[in-house]
Structure 1
């Protein structure tokens, strides 16, 4: 089935309409439970490869270049971390859209809510994904939306962070597509690195020991940490969760994940057992993970969490 049809039907009929289709990214529409918006369920991970550019009707054979024939660690984006993450500077580093040069120029799409584009970093001539960056740990308090990635394992972890919506305006941000450059960095055992995102950013970070593997269709696997920062279509609420739906859909390894904020955790243990997180069989559930009211936040992310 073509990706366009998967996205449309999944949104119009609900995830249960496609038991084999996974595009696991949160819908950013607003739902009230006991008077408060909640972070909504993911659409299931897609088994259909996206086209690397916008086309009216993608053909079944259209697929990103360099897609592996089996789960692998090949063709993962190159490291994109700059010296910013190692600098001793105490100065604020602006996002590209603010006139900075931290990264090297998009739109809203209810089904517009499922395909809600939000901030892709492309304002003012900036490149896709420039709305997130690694900064020195000591200037984390200068930003509104912060994720601190701490490696609690004994091996290095690669982390790849990307907007949920790709360069083509489709739900392809989590796929390896030619010309699409996510934020990619490595965290050594015991090390902490800080990632900051701009407002109205909806994205994912995937991680795994050494290198993030990809599915046979070129989608990032490993374990995911999903995040939604000050969603303009959700009254400014934010959210986050750990997810292993993609990896488990393809029987791939699941590393550990913990995302913590305000005394609430979203956890997945190595192998895929979770608590307040999206694991196999939970595709139809809503409200899982961290639901964060308007305002600044810091989410602590633990790579290789094992309990």
Structure 2
């Protein structure tokens, strides 16, 4: 998303003909503020071919588009055993060396799942799910603690927002009768043909590395029955995404969640309270998987980002041809967010 302070995009192709990719709106691709670009254009978007990162047969050479410039370097692979007070897992990660630009470290085997009860206990509030509290006070019932933002380096994608304490507790499932009490709410509408499993993550994982979108990390997991609905609330200053699949979410060959992605950045402190979202099929395509459709719009059916099943149509969305394009996703000025997510969209 092209926010006021962020214009960087990074895609890295790594070992094993697979992708280790930074997905996080204020770090991955920029979104223009409302008024800078048309947010509701319904025409298919054609990406410049020059931005495409090709040749997935590269093994150790890594490419990144940084400020619109294609950079490359050779990775050296190392093993680090890390332990924390909240996890006993062993993490294996890529330790890159470069002569061009600092790059993020990707952890390939995290093992953390949020332990927070996903549905908060609250009395019915009445009203429609997309309404907001008349007093402007939003509920935090069910959320864990909010973590302070931090920077791990000098680059835009080094920014880490709220990941919840414990990790993942900034993203919770809620019931419809309390949805209008929360600030950022997503209504998931299921496939017409099959149950869908949805997995959410924070862009940054529990050990402070940019690995939240690697299995088995998950902030939240739930099922949406065929033609069913589910509601999710997201805390302030949270950056991450979700993917869905029939029965389970597909993975890439190196363990990334590889279904079609929905991505979010809610009330970003770094970007003056702006929020943003988009649909992306980049990981699914580069992993050689079928592209499942998804559409994200606000509750009024506007400010949409969508990819139809099999790439039949595109609106403000990212495909493998759009790597490096900073203009496709949707942003909203400071305030509550009400989104409808259509799974298996066609």
Q: TM-score range by the shorter chain?
A: 0.7 to 0.9
Q: How does 1:190-269 map to 2 (within 5 A)?
A: 190-261=227-298, 263-269=302-308
CA contact under 8 A between 1:174 and 1:219: conserved in structure 2?
Answer: yes
Q: 2:315 corresponds to which residue?
A: 275
Q: 1:90 corresponds to which residue?
A: 124
Q: 1:64 corresponds to which residue?
A: 109
Q: 1:101 corresponds to which residue?
A: none
CA contact under 8 A between 1:27 and 1:114: conserved in structure 2?
Answer: no
Query: In 1, distance between residues paired with 2:191 and 2:261?
Result: 16
Q: Are residue 117 (structure 1) and residue 160 (structure 2) matched?
A: yes
Offset at residue 182 of structure 1 (A): 2.2
Q: Are residue 131 (structure 1) and residue 170 (structure 2) matched?
A: yes
Offset at residue 234 of structure 1 (A): 0.8
**Length-normalised TM-score, structure 2:** 0.66
Runs of 4+ residues deviating >3 angstroms: 11-22, 29-39, 44-63, 77-83
1:88-118, Cα deviation, whole Å (9 max, x unpaired)? 84265341227xxxxxx87412644213210
For residue 28 of structure 1, give the secondary structure of its aligned residue in structure 2. helix
Offset at residue 31 of structure 1 (A): 7.4
Q: How does 1:117-196 map to 2 (within 5 A)?
A: 117-122=160-165, 127-177=166-216, 180-196=217-233
Segment drifting more, 87-96 vs 136-145: 87-96
Query: In 1, distance between residues paired with 2:209 and 2:294?
Result: 27
Query: In 1, distance between residues paired with 2:143 and 2:114?
Result: 19
Select which of 19, 26, 37 maps to 2:24: 26
CA contact under 8 A between 1:128 and 1:181: conserved in structure 2?
Answer: no
Instruction: Please list every run of 5 or more consecutive structure 1 residues that lacks an aligned counterpart in the other structure.
Output: 1-10, 67-76, 99-104
CA contact under 8 A between 1:38 and 1:291: conserved in structure 2?
Answer: no
1:32-71, Cα deviation, whole Å (9 max, x unpaired)? 67975999xxxx89999997848898458984179xxxxx
Query: In 2, distance between residues paired with 1:114 and 1:220?
Result: 20
Query: In 2, distance between residues paired with 1:302 and 1:144?
Result: 20
CA contact under 8 A between 2:168 and 2:218: conserved in structure 1?
Answer: yes
Q: Which has the larger radius of gyration?
A: 2
Offset at residue 210 of structure 1 (A): 1.5
Answer 1 or 2: which has greater helix percent: 1
For residue 286 of structure 1, give the secondary structure of its aligned residue in structure 2. coil
Q: 1:58 to 1:278 in 2, by over 3 A?
A: closer
For residue 114 of structure 1, give the secondary structure of its aligned residue in structure 2. helix
Instruction: Please list every run of 5 or more consecutive structure 2 residues that lacks an aligned counterpart in the other structure.
Output: 1-5, 40-52, 57-61, 64-74, 84-90, 97-105, 126-138
CA contact under 8 A between 2:34 and 2:332: conserved in structure 1?
Answer: no
Q: 1:78 to 1:171 in 2, by over 3 A?
A: closer
Number of residue equivalences: 270
Offset at residue 275 of structure 1 (A): 1.8
1:21-40, Cα deviation, whole Å (9 max, x unpaired)? 5514135168767975999x
